[in-house]
Chain A
């Protein structure tokens, strides 16, 4: 099996290359078929890996030496351990379903070749990221998925908001990527090694717990993870990323790419255990982001933006679990979240598409007539997201996170944040459900979805329910397959004593029900045109965009404008003369007003004349003389220099030979 590992990222890459180079020879239908086959092949290889010995011991394959610089030889190699196996399974299965869903969804679009090329390339990059056995290769995959995300957000690039959203996503995540690159540099400078296994062993043996270097390295890695996973304070790109096609939102911005940060931290968790402060910071960022995302989602009116803020908040749960040291549980929530959030996005996409690209939830409620499969699957996804007790996967994973957060340092505080977030989650998702599907429009549907769209919805709906049963909550009779299976690679989470556990689980189970009723109350208020307090503040995502615009974008633009003015013809006037003139005018104005108030008009007049004289004398004479002499000097040197460029071939040849003679003479001397 292990010599076939390269096929997992290899087949989507091959698919994308076929589409890129032979795409013009293929018909539209065949383009989609190539892309689907490539992702299906990757999925089949993953299934084969499950069936063979992959589950018992990690597989390893080294393709070739990527770079050889002296002693340092990073390999192009893959490792498939259980952590990677989980990620690979999620990515390839959701990827396959989204590819199938795209076939009817994108059938009317003009530029299918570009779409499928980037979708396949994304799949290859994500699988490469997950399978990489060294940090350099991981970074390659990391950048590839970033590139594909950029290209697919801006898929409809002729629409300026879309291309701007793509650019924004790219630039914001770049901040995180830079931090990650610096982190990799730091680790390399310390250990001269980028292979993950060797790196982690070296770090645990050489660094002591809480050392400065470990804290710094983990902080930088955390920066990368925060950028990619859209956590505070780099979360601003994800809501805008929803301008891309819905399947892309489902695959990249909900199920897989945004969880790359979670995977990265889980992969390097031995480092984080060396730096308790950073680990606490991870949990704190997670807890804050939960409340941030959920509260912002409550006030949104755009269907997909609700889901985007919901994604931000749900990844916050994963970060919280990571920060509490419960890596297996974070991964468990990642899995269930991938299923139910992809489901929500895909059914939302079906609804939006069926209603003629209407995104506003109130208008969608008025239009009605939504496909019934989309409605029921959305309800299942919503229940799973809210964590309706016992029957949904979301309940089991979120419950585990909430319980384990209690026993972490400052646990009760984190727990309060997370529980409040869970309540808000139930509120916003049921608010959306009722507004869209129980609006004033007709309930019964006349639209039926194509087979390729309904099948992925049904499979994901099934997975959103049953995937929770593999890990029942702590203290319950029943299987704990997940944490036992991952116990070799990821540390076992700690839980508080049983009585507290049961109390917490009881509260967690009540929260969705409370949220459900609160959502009903909220809708009644909204229909009576009573808006929420702080609704505008929440809708703008706590004003992060405006804040970043005022603090970063505006000064940057101003600087650019000044520099541009400096380059233009009027530059000297703009930079030197105008500020000076303003200063002179200010001084003379001040003098005038002061003396008029002293009721000495005549002296004023004298002073005024004097001031004018000063202005004229200083401004026009001295300044002009200075500038003129500068220009004259420049012109003089220009004349001298430009004589060398007179266009005569013989002169050029003479100069060249003189140079050659001088050089030879110097050399022979």
Chain B
């Protein structure tokens, strides 16, 4: 029997690795993949906890999570494609249109 804490440690490792991908990589597609990894870490947590308590709630939560992921991936990929199409950008550095552009040369 696997103790609950081991499953949780693995899930946390997955989550942190995904977060690292999100934070460190600069390509939009990598960021999305990192998000997927994070979500899978969460799913593992939910399933492990659900098995620990011996009921189906964890699995229901993961099914919900799957739906959310599917919706998120679809919309996000289209947005990535649009960014690529409009700005020829695949990296986040070029997508800084929301930056505060006020002139600060006078200070």
Contacts and interface: CB of A to CB of B under 8 A. Distances in A.
Given a CB threshold of 8 Å, the question of whether A touches B is answered with: yes
A657 to B, nearest CB: 6
A486 B31 CA distance: 81
28 contacts: A636-B107, A638-B102, A638-B104, A639-B104, A639-B107, A642-B102, A645-B99, A645-B100, A646-B99, A646-B100, A647-B95, A647-B96, A647-B97, A647-B98, A647-B99, A647-B100, A648-B92, A648-B93, A648-B96, A649-B31, A649-B92, A649-B95, A650-B22, A650-B26, A653-B22, A653-B23, A654-B23, A657-B19
A645 B97 CA distance: 11
Given A638-B104, A649-B92, A654-B23, 6 more contacts: A642-B104, A645-B98, A646-B96, A647-B95, A650-B22, A653-B23
Interface string A633-663: 0011011001001111110011001000000
A632 interface: yes
A648 B93 CA distance: 6
Nearest to A661: B19
Q: Do most interface residues of chain B lie in helix, strand or loop, or is the interface mixed?
A: loop
Interface size class of B (residues with CB under 8 A): 10 to 19
Interface of B: 19, 22-24, 26, 31, 92-93, 95-100, 102, 104, 106-107
A650 to B, nearest CB: 6
Nearest to B28: A649
Interface of A: 632, 635-636, 638-639, 642, 645-650, 653-654, 657
A648 B98 CA distance: 9
A636 B106 CA distance: 10
Given A635-B107, A639-B104, A650 B96 contact: no
Contacts of A649: 31, 92, 95
A184 B92 CA distance: 59
A649 B28 CA distance: 10
A427 to B, nearest CB: 71
Contacts of B106: 635
B107 A642 contact: no
A647 B94 CA distance: 9
A331 to B, nearest CB: 65
A645 B100 CA distance: 6
A638 B106 CA distance: 12
Contacts of B104: 635, 638-639, 642
A655 to B, nearest CB: 10
A650 B31 CA distance: 9
B2 to A, nearest CB: 24
A642 B31 CA distance: 25
A201 B74 CA distance: 67
Nearest to B25: A650
Nearest to B93: A648
Nearest 10 CB-CB pairings of A with B: A647-B96, A647-B99, A649-B92, A645-B100, A642-B100, A635-B107, A647-B98, A646-B99, A654-B23, A639-B104
A649 B106 CA distance: 27
A201 to B, nearest CB: 56
A657 B24 CA distance: 13
Contacts of A639: 104, 107
A657 B100 contact: no
A647 B101 CA distance: 10
Nearest to B98: A647
